[in-house]
Structure 1
Amino acid sequence: MKNFEELGIDNNILKAVQELGFKNPMPVQEEVIPLLLSSDKTDIVALAQTGTGKTAAFGIPILQKTDCNSKDVQYLILSPTRELCLQIADDLIDLSKYKQVKIAAVFGGASIEHQIRTIKQGVHIISATPGRLLDLINRKVVNISKIKAVVLDEADEMLNMGFRDELEAILSTTPKEKSTYLFSATMPKEVVAIAEKFQKNPVEITIGRKNAGAENVNHLAYFVQARDRYLALKRIVDFNPDIYGIVFCRTRKETQEVADLLMKDGYNADALHGDLSQAQRDNVMNKFRIRHLKLLVATDVAARGLDVDHLTHVINYNLPDENEIYTHRSGRTGRAGKSGTSVVIANLKEKRKLQDIEKQIGKKFSITSIPVGEEVCEKQLFHLIDRMEKVEVDDTQIESYLPTIYKKLEWLDREELIKKFVSLEFNRFLDYYKNTGDINIQGDRKKDKRERNGNSEYTRFFINVGKMDDIKPVSIIGMINDFTGLRDIEVGEIEILKTFSFFEVDKSFTQNILDAFENKTRKDRKISVEVAESKSRSSGRSDSRNRRSRDERSDRGGGDDRRERKSGGGRSEKRYSDRSERSSGDRSERRSSDRRDKRSGGRPERGSDNRRNRRSDDRPERKTDKRRENWYEDRKPAKFENEGRKSDRKDKKDRKSRKSNSDNSFYSKKSRK
């Protein structure tokens, strides 16, 4: 491992680095700093987790290459949130302590007039959020003609937050000869598109595996019923007395509700979400950073860009919609070489999503049981004893009080003193946990499957849009929120297929969903939503085929319907495509007769001798009829599948009658064509 002196850093910056307590560069710094110092025309893509030292990796080179004699803006640093923007600016100010580099932070939610005055006084480096920087560029406040490089920090997060248009506008207006430094934790296709459009032969630097989770994070999963999530959260927190972490929720409403419940139950917690004012956000974050709060309950958007060290836990109260977001969440713990724990509170319907996340992060979840009350109390007791053993006693401060204390307690023997000591500290825990049960989901895999399918607290819906319509899980959740106007609907599993999808919501909102999606459109396409049956994996595949057949016949103009028929067997394929299989000689011989048939509607001419033969030839064999009947039976609508069947004899009789009727109507129509 190299030290900072070996990376080619100037003495004035090196002195500041040493005063900040940094001894050896982190892997991303060791790779990036020499590369950027050696060339002014290098584009890079650096993939590394949050908290791996990326700010110093790009900050030290651009500080060293900044021309302090010029008054022009030379470097732009773009980040997704106000917090990260300020953090970057503060870090650069610390690193440039002995170099006269002027740095400004510009972001939304603050006075733009003050920011304009600061920029007009002259700055070399601007750390900014995309929206506010683009506003200042459009106002001609920021002169971008001398920009040497643009840094995109947390690029995947910026694109997830919808800043693509702003990023493209900024990168398009800056000089073409500039360098672009792209830093990201993951590399989704949106980031790839930005790199391909605005970078030239970038050098890719990957610390760890691409799109993988942080190496020092242990991933735990607890399975409980959806209604027991909060109870599970409390037990996890109580079982980890030294916890200092973030609890991630899906919605602002849920975030505030969980934080309120925790505060009501005596925990040092608070909420961070988009409904807070900037002053409230700053107050919450300051309390969390100085550890006056043990738990920060936050949405993903509000927590983006937070730079808090030494977090012991990240708790996923709900799983995120996109797997990449889990990588960001879990990467907030286990930083700077320390270990951390990422906890998922899940229900059985989310097992498949956990498996997808395992593939994403390259690690397995440890499936763990929620501790029972006795285990929680024991853990808290031993934690108190450990604290007591480690307390340093200052005899000089308590010496004058000891005679009175001894006199007060002289009537207690050793055992009584210990009992009262334990009761004083643990009455709250003992009272709460004495009647609590086991909230873990019990049973083997088969039982879990039955519970998941037959005892579900969710309703499963079919919707006629899928991957071909550019649908993602977040798209369906967005439609649910927008169409219903509600933000407290708990969403279960979402399955995106090629031309349609399935999603689950809390059963109590079933009618809300049906009413809200009625007569709705998306990108000029009518949205159709209906209740689907909860099925096991095997029957689910059959249901998907039936659903796909109905959906594609109604919404895709029948093209896929013909392909379905084609796959039914050789005879059926020939019957539906015999026109295309005629030889060129047959076509020329029939051309004149075809014109006559066209005029007469395809009927044989009156008095024709071969009319009887033609009817006989056109009539299909009995075996083909049976194949067509099976084709129909296989594609009956799913809602009829579970209806009670009649007796075998009557069912056979009805089928014969139906076959006879359908044959007559089908072939009479064919003969009239």
Structure 2
Amino acid sequence: MLPSFFGRPKVMSTMPFSSLPNLISQALAEQGYAEPTPVQAAVLGAEAHDRDLLVSAQTGSGKTVAFGVAMAARLLSEDNGFNRAPGALVIAPTRELALQVSRELTWLFGKAGIRITTCVGGMDAARERRTLAQGTHVVVGTPGRLRDHLERGALDLSALHHVVLDEADEMLDMGFREDLEEILEATPEGRRTLLFSATMPKPIVALARRYQRDALRISTVSDNVGHGDITYQAVAVSPADIENAVINLLRFHEAETAILFCATRDNVRHLHSSLIERGFAAVALSGEHSQNERNNALQALRDGRARICVATDVAARGIDIPSLSLVIHVEVPRDAEVLQHRSGRTGRAGRKGVAVMIVPYPRRRRVEGMLRIARVTAEWVPVPSPESIRERDRERLLADLLQPIESSDADRDLAERILAAMSPTDVALALVQARKRGIPDPEELIEQSQADAPVRGARREGFDDVVWFRMDIGRRQNADPRWLLPLLCRRGHITRNEIGAIRIAANETYFQVPSAIEAKFRAALKRTANPGSDDESGITIEPSPEAPQDTGRDRPRGARHNAGPGRGPRGKGPGREGGGRGAPGGKPDGFKRKGPPRHRD
């Protein structure tokens, strides 16, 4: 809840753009704006006139034009000479968003001769200082670069009458609090402060209380849904099938432009390489890319040379691609706010979009809680199957081929020559094959059996008919059920309840799985194997042609697998052999994050 001094959030009645200065109205008309969006109408309302504003609005709702028109009257009433300090300052969390804001304000104020200067990290700071010295009306920048210019004396804020904080919640999340406070402390007391934020957590409320006076609280965000123009979906998958699920979702939707969100730059790099290898036209955005590389990637998305962007959360801030209609959360967002920010890249300015969250089985409950907090209703759907994708391909191909076409006399002459040499059926087949060429094949996913897994502690059925498997590690490599069980679950995508007896020998380990899941288990092992690797993917796990001989290390079916700390079979400490001690905590020497090394005998 917001403190009472903000008053009740208000949404103003629509005010036409004709009430704005003539040059601004003309610029809006040329860009196709007929009527204000709700947030634009709100800031133009009589009650908002010349007041500090605290605005909640979704991304893509026209916020940039909203604070642009809110500043317009004051900016146009001043002398347009450049030999003076700026009158307005817009602060944005990322380079991309700052550049986007600068582009929007440039066309909005272009006819009025208002000069816009951009100051962002990754650009030539010396050139920015020279531009500031020449004079400007509006400065748009990121907190770090603006603070740097302020401390060097290049940015004069003495004449400021408007300060805009765009996506303030994101700036605080990214650690820019000190930068913002130093910048705001340097602004004149009488300036007008417009704070825009998709969410209103306590830190935003505290910032508003400190730096705003009698702020009018405006909200154009529905209390019932996260975003009315976005369809939310969620798919539950095996952890090893995440990448295959991405492929099938891309192939099923065939969006004109899609963005895929990953948590780290390493994951961005890996997924981007995998998509390129499969034949997708994709670009990547993460903190490791230079500004020039980022600009080239965004331009490739805008002009259609690329259709997919793989990005981290921070790198994707400010991306505004009109054709972006699909967002895929490849990795689960850390909280509801990140979910909304990511998803808000699509469904912008009245367009429809789809946001799909890929959810590993163990995280489904957490995701359902996040969706409730975000007030988002997501439909849980299966990952598109290869059959459904191919059916969609046929529908799309047929629809494309049946479209009316315009042709020249030369084209018709060539078509007649082809028909003279080939039958109509062969021509159609050649056309179909040509259209299909270069389209990546969909992926087969591991059959889901998570819902059928038995409850822990119950009598487990299905172990009357079992298959033995063998691993090439044993007691000499400090094998222990406490880390063998999670390893098998990760490698084979099964649950602990689907593993029967475990027998640990000197240099190998045998274990049972029910015959009913053998095919699924073997398919998962093949997908997760990386022979020669030093982590758990390098461990050889293969079917055993016969049951093992008695090893003296049998963990019978139905026994508890999760032994207490420091306890392996028969009560011995983990990895002990003839009184020797293994690695602390029961993990073998050289054990990396997810598994032991290959045996070193």
TM-score by length of 1: 0.64
Cα distance in structure 1, aligned partners of 2:92 and 2:224: 19
Per the alignment, do residues 63 and 291 of structure 1 end up closer, same or farther by CA in structure 2, a change over 3 Å counting? same
Identity of aligned residues (%): 30
The answer on whether the counterparts of 2:88 and 2:161 sit within 8 Å (CA) in structure 1 is yes
Cα shift readout 1:274-298 (whole Å, capped 9, x = no counterpart):
1111111111111011121110000
CA distance in 2, matches of 1:131, 1:36: 34
Q: 1:392 to 1:351 in 2, by over 3 A?
A: same
Tell me the CA shift for residue 427 of structure 1. Answer: 6.8
Q: Does 1:49 align with 2:58?
A: yes
The verdict on how the C-alpha distance between 1:206 and 1:396 changes in structure 2, with shifts beyond 3 A counting, is same
Give the conservation status (yes or no) of the 8 Å contact 1:334–1:340.
yes
Cα pair distance change 1:251/1:443, threshold 3 Å: closer
Q: Secondary structure at the match of 2:260?
A: strand
Contact 2:42–2:48 (CA<8 Å) still a contact in 1? no
Which residue is equivalent to 1:337?
350
Q: Compute the displacement of 1:443 (Å).
A: 4.9
Query: CA contact under 8 A between 2:346 and 2:353: conserved in structure 1?
Result: yes
For 1:47-68, what per-residue CA distance to the aligned partner results, in whole angstroms no more than 9, with x for missing partners?
1111100011111121221143
Aligned to 2:87: 74
Matches within 5 A, 1:98-113: 98-113=111-126
Aligned-residue offset at 1:360: 2.6
State how 1:352-367 maps to structure 2 within 5 Å.
352-367=365-380
**Contact map agreement 2:120 2:141 (CA 8 A) in 1:** yes
User: Does residue 33 of the first structure (1) align with residue 38 of the second (2)?
Assistant: no
Map of 2:262 onto structure 1: 249
- Corresponding residue of 2:449: 442
- Residue 215 of structure 1, CA deviation: 1.1
Aligned counterpart in structure 2 of residue 346 of structure 1, from 355, 359, 375: 359
The whole-number CA distance in structure 1 between the counterparts of 2:78 and 2:44 is 20
Q: Deviations over 1:114-141 (max 9, x none)?
A: 1111111111211111111111111122
- Cα distance in 2, alignment partners of residues 448 and 315 from structure 1: 32
Residue identity in the other structure for 1:53: G
Q: 2:305 aligns with which of 292, 295, 305?
A: 292
Structure 1 position 36, deviation (Å): 7.9
CA, structure 1 residues 285+429, in 2 after alignment: closer, same or farther (shift >3 Å)?
closer
Could you say which residue in structure 1 is the equivalent of 2:133? 120
Mapped partners of 1:255, 1:110: distance in 2: 24
Q: Aligned partner of 1:157: which letter?
A: E
What amino acid is aligned across from residue 63 of structure 1 in structure 2? A
How do 1:226-305 and structure 2 match up within 5 A? 226-305=239-318
CA shift at 1:14, angstroms? 1.0
Residue 21 of structure 2 corresponds to 10
Structure with bigger RCO (C-alpha 8 Å, 6+ apart):
2
Shift of 1:187: 1.4
How far, CA to CA, are the matches of 2:180 and 2:225 in structure 1? 25
Higher-Rg member (1/2): 1
AA matched with 1:79: A
What is the DSSP-based 3-state SS (H/G/I as helix, E as strand, rest coil) of the residue aligned with 1:98?
helix
Distance 1:457 1:61, change over 3 A: same
How many pairs are equivalent? 464
Q: Note the C-alpha offset of 1:640.
A: 9.2
Instruction: Provide the C-alpha distance between the structure 2 equivalents of 1:59 and 1:73, rounded to a whole number of angstroms.
Output: 15
Q: Deviations over 1:408-439 (max 9, x none)?
A: 21xx363x554454444447769x55xx6443
Secondary structure of 2:194's counterpart equals strand
Q: 1:644 to 1:45 in 2, by over 3 A?
A: farther
Which residue does the alignment assign to 2:490? 457
CA contact (8 A) 2:88 2:137 kept: yes
**How many Å apart are 1:246 and its aligned residue?**
0.3
Change (3 A) 1:384 1:198: same
C-alpha spacing 1:388/1:242, structure 2 compared with 1 (3 Å): farther
Shift of 1:368: 0.8
SS in 1 for 2:154: coil
> Considering only aligned residues, what root-mean-square deviation do their CA atoms show, in Å?
3.1
- Aligned equivalents of 2:419, 2:339: Cα separation in 1: 55
For each residue in 1:26-55, what CA deviation from the matched residue of structure 2 results, as whole angstroms up to 9, or x when unmatched?
00001112358722xx22110111110001
Distance 1:156 1:454, change over 3 A: same
TM-score if structure 2 supplies the norm length?
A: 0.71
The letter of the residue matching 2:371 is E
Paired residue for 1:217?
230
Q: Structure 1 residues 170, 178: CA separation in 2 closer, same or farther (over 3 Å shift)?
A: same
**Which structure features the higher share of helix residues?**
1
Q: Distance in 1 between matches of 2:335 and 2:73?
A: 38
Structure 1: tracts of 5 or more residues without a match = 459-506, 511-538, 544-636, 646-673
Q: Would you say 1:64 and 2:73 are equivalent positions?
A: yes
Q: Which moved more, 1:28-37 or 1:385-394?
A: 28-37
Alignment check: 8 A CA contact 2:17 2:35 kept: no
Read off the aligned partner of 2:490 and give its amino acid letter: E
Cα distance, 1:189 vs. partner? 2.2
Q: What is the alpha-carbon distance in structure 2 between the residues aligned to residue 65 and residue 447 of structure 1? A: 69
**Distance in 2 between the 1:338 and 1:254 partners?**
29
Kindly tell me: are residues 108 and 449 of structure 1, through their superposed partners in 2, closer, same or farther at Cα, counting changes over 3 Å?
farther
Q: Which runs of 5+ in 2 are unaligned?
A: 1-12, 461-484, 492-533, 538-559, 572-601
Contact map agreement 1:249 1:255 (CA 8 A) in 2: yes
Pick closer, same or farther for the CA change 1:147–1:3 going to 2, 3 Å: closer
CA distance in 1, matches of 2:267, 2:46: 45
- Partners in 1 of 2:66 and 2:536 — Cα distance? 49
**What are the residue-to-residue correspondences of 1:596-615 with 2, within 5 Å?**
none
